Structure 1
Amino acid sequence: MVTQAARAMWERFEPVHDLVYFAPEARRAADGLGMRGFWMGYFALRAAPLGPVSAPVVTACFYVFHPNRVARALPDAWRYAAPGDVLDARAQAMDAAMTRLLGTDVVSSAWMTEAADLAWRAAEAADTAGRPLAAANQALDRPRRPHTRLWQALTTLREHRGDGHVATLVGHGVAPVEAMVLKAASGESDAALLREGRKWDPADWRRAEAQLRERGWLDEAGALTPAGVTGRAAIEAQTDAVAEAPWKALGQDGTARLAALLDPLTTTVATSGLLPHGNPVGVTRAGAGG
């Protein structure tokens, strides 16, 4: 079933995409551009395909961050480096990180080229109407080196799924903090990590919990009710369903081949110790969440 493929592929490519946040090469690249601290680097590296956008635009696109978290980074980041320079540094960082983790023989191998080309085909087929982050990444030039081409294609696919997830949350009337509360209540991610990383204060969190209790999705102990389990499952199922286009275009055989090629790479990243404990992205594949 295609929607099963959509989730299975996400759980493979999400850890690889996440190198841009957690690999030391990414932090050095951001610091080298003059970015001030982890979060300025995070927002600049992720938002650069959109151009020199403002904090409100990024807050809307990224959805789950407190506006103040974003406003501390943007637009100041663009005073230190233009988005084009950030993109160049991002590509160089991913080149270095993947080469270090996998080795020169792997990044220059025939299977890496095959994986990159399959992923690029899927990314080119991604439907980007209403998906700003996916569209911005899809519009970037095709990298020459296979491993950086693979990373960029997987990033386009990741943002494609993420944009669809945001649209689904909006359609279900789930606000940003409520989305974080639901993720934590499901057991996928650590509540404190989500709250502190996205800069929501305890009052924001308690207010979201109260709203979900009023909706019947959360009980007094902070656990999902049966209605909450059903509601969240519907959100996840719709997220997967609207992420199906790239995999339909790639076809069952191409998707299965890419999955097999990604497996060792995903395992290497997931077991590297780079991804944070507490699993902020909610990946459930064994070992992928830190």
Structure 2
Amino acid sequence: MHNLNLLKEKSKFIRVETLKIHKLAPETRVASSLSPIEIFVSLYYGNILKYNPKDPRDENRDRFIISKGHGSISMYPLLADIGFFDKNELNNVCKDGSFLGGIPDPIIPGYETVNGSLGHGLGVGSGIAVALKTKQKEENVVVLTGDGELNEGSNWEAIMFAPQQKLDNFTLIVDYNKVSMLDFSKNIINLNSLNAKFEAFNWKVYEVLDGHNIEEVYNTLNEAINNRDNKPKVVIVNTIKGKGVPFLETHALSHILSVKTEDIDTLIEEIENGN
């Protein structure tokens, strides 16, 4: 197990910094960005992914594609903290002239793809995985989607394609926070039995019951991504949309809601003083 205390502290740090960014740029999708924090922390601070901040396009890097780009503002403080770009840039999110926008794109060091239009990350990722296998490269391809994003039919084309190609260098992580843009996901397209759906398509399925238990998240992701047995892997991570902001955690419209500026400092203090 990696340094558990470090991962816990970094999760708290990233959650606080994400709220600070939202205070500066209220147009950011804060609820979507709070649910996958433990996933990001495990991948990067837990050294599950191979990456090189000094050369973001290092040929020997693992490829991490964040298909739910709007929900990854929490990656900004992480990437700055590990050296992909200057931390002072975090003060300029969504300002004219900054490369840190409300929806990330590849101009940001550490991002691989354009992430604005949902439903494409899995297809792009599976293509990259095929290319790496063809070149007999050992690097992994990891894609993060939201559960609402799985409503897009293009995802299921890739879900059929990856097992056919035996892409065991390919891992999908589902940020299963169960809230879409305008309602709870079950009221739009119910994804119950998601595990069984992927098993039926011949994926190796893992599930994280508590996506904010850093030990469980780290251990499961580490096992899945490093498993090579001729199947693509999916890790279904049960998370809470808006984690750390109580009114967002239970709201059907949390995706499009902002946190009042005057409430953010109180929330930050509560998070910093919590366990």
TM-score where L is the length of structure 2: 0.28
- More strand by percentage: 2
RCO higher in 1 or 2 (8 Å CA, sep ≥ 6)? Answer: 1
Of structures 1 and 2, the larger Rg is shown by 1
Report the TM-score when normalising by structure 1: 0.27
